[in-house]
Structure 1
């Protein structure tokens, strides 16, 4: 199995777990004399099995990410961490640009003038640079995921 396939399977397991949780919750209590539409005990057993499979898969994914080299200096796990940090930093700076760019209307010359405390243009350049770095790193990671075999 390729790493990308394992990541897709992980997402599928996570969705199935969330769906099962909702279905279990909906069938925990019924009116006396009625039958639940699904047996919560069966779903709890299925949930336990899926969690066990998911745990095993996540361990293999983590092991693979820690063993495979992204480049000469970093493992794939290192690159994933750096990519996540790029997203977080870009998100923060993007919010700063949005907030600092908002115009506050004045109705008369006597009203207080609101000005930005940051250089929006410079921060926007940082956002653009982070976006490009993220895209380049993510593209390489995604490409690698389809070429790397999942380690046991």
Structure 2
């Protein structure tokens, strides 16, 4: 099985657990004299089984990512880099939005007597930096996805 397939299985498992949890919540209480819609205890047992499978799958994915070379490091290193780039992109974009007056407050001047607010940061440079970071994220994502389809999942 390829890593990409394992990631799809992991996502399916996560959805399955969420669905089962909703069913447990719906069945955890019932009115006296009625029968519960489903056996909440059986659903909890099923959740445990799915979570055990999830743990095994996640361990295998992590082990494979740590052992798979990608660029100057491993897939695990690339995933960490991508996470940090996403945070950096959000920070730079938020700073540019705030400096340009798009940060949720009205920074314009409506009357001559009002004070003018000025940007404390170079908006155009920040936007260019955000674009550069977004491009780096896209390129890194492509390399990670390629590795996910080329690499066999370890045991």
- Match 1:114 to one of 94, 109, 117: 117
Scaled by the length of structure 2, what TM-score is found? 0.94
Q: How much does 1:33 deviate?
A: 0.9
Q: Which residue of 2 aligns with 1:131?
A: 134
Q: Which residue of 1 aligns with 2:4?
A: 4
Q: How much does 1:104 deviate?
A: 2.2
Q: Name the CA distance, whole Å, in 2 between partners of 1:104 and 1:85.
A: 30
Q: Which residue of 2 aligns with 1:87?
A: 86
Question: Which ranges in structure 1 are unaligned for 5 or more consecutive residues?
Answer: none
Q: Name the CA distance, whole Å, in 1 between partners of 2:12 and 2:110.
A: 55
Question: Which ranges in structure 2 are unaligned for 5 or more consecutive residues?
Answer: none
Q: Name the CA distance, whole Å, in 2 between partners of 1:107 and 1:15.
A: 50
Aligned length: 151
Task: Determine helix, strand or coil for the equivalent of 1:42.
Answer: helix
Q: Tell me the C-alpha RMSD between the 2 structures.
A: 1.0
Q: How much does 1:107 deviate?
A: 2.5
Where in structure 1 do 4 or more consecutive aligned residues deviate above 3 Å? none
Q: How much does 1:100 deviate?
A: 1.6
Matched, 1:144 2:143: no
Greater length-normalized contact order (CA 8 Å, ≥ 6 residues apart): 1
Q: Which residue of 2 aligns with 1:34?
A: 34
Q: Which residue of 1 aligns with 2:97?
A: 98
Scaled by the length of structure 1, what TM-score is found? 0.96
Q: Name the CA distance, whole Å, in 1 between partners of 2:6 and 2:31.
A: 42
How big is each residue's C-alpha offset from its partner over 1:111-149, in whole Å with a ceiling of 9 and x where there is no partner? 111111100001111101000100000011101101110
